[in-house]
A and B are shown apart, each in its own frame.
Chain A
């Protein structure tokens, strides 16, 4: 990978900073021993991903990311953590005690990462010729309510079923 200082712009600097924050936060999710810290780190990772979306001209998805992930899902996760906490917080997110399991996990991850790097490096990525509009929200809306409207309605039904199912599961059956 060539490192050309002259072609280094503010955009690149922003990407490097955001990517560094996102990766560090993602590592924090996996490595913190306290699951509350993991959840807070997860929020930071979500915000980093949202910043990446903003940088990629997808401001709508960036806002959705902040609302749905950093807002709703993280609150849901923290509530669930509070409900199922039955040991001291400092040892609530331990790694597996069997070293063989951790070793297997690390090996699988390393193999997967190598494969992904090879694919990314060896592929000739086509570059789109036609430039898009500055704000792609109109394009997205046309697709969502045009060609993909069936999938859109199916997603709505999926969310409804998931909410009802989650309530029934979390409420539990009647005690006999």
Chain B
């Protein structure tokens, strides 16, 4: 009974939760965590499409591997940036990151 649309629905729900987090959180680390949620939702969609649309190949899983690689690089550099900014400004509140505003 459970088919591809259900998995895609789960992926969309998690993705939208991630979007909401990115748009409304104040803490920069929380925003990065929401981005990770969005990447996970994309992976769920890739793997479900792989299983139901092309089960005799593994292209969807391959793309998920690359998404995981990029996500790992993104979170490492992102958290390093947050720590670097924290050292300069003593805050991780996104509303205080306004050096480029005038």
List A residues at the B interface (Cβ < 8 Å). 4, 7-9, 11-12, 15-16, 19, 22-23, 26-27, 29-30, 35, 38-39, 42, 45-46, 49, 52-53, 56-58, 60-61, 64-65, 68-69, 72-73, 76-77, 80-81, 83-84, 86, 92-97, 101-102, 104-106, 108-109, 112-113, 116-117, 120-121, 125-128, 130-132, 136, 139-140, 142-144, 148, 151, 155, 158-159, 161-163, 165-167, 169-170, 172
Contacts and interface: CB of A to CB of B under 8 A. Distances in A.
B17 A69 contact: no
B53 A127 contact: yes
Contact of A7 (B1, B13, B24): B1
Interface residues of B, number: 75
A57 B82 contact: no
Given A9-B1, A23-B10, A112-B16, A96 B25 contact: yes
A84 B65 CA distance: 30
Given A159-B72, A169-B77, 12 more contacts: A12-B2, A49-B14, A60-B61, A77-B29, A80-B29, A83-B86, A93-B30, A101-B24, A116-B12, A130-B55, A155-B65, A172-B84
B55 A131 contact: yes
A22 B81 contact: no
Contact of B47 (A23, A61, A125, A143): A61
Given A12-B2, A96-B25, A42 B77 contact: no
Nearest to A151: B66
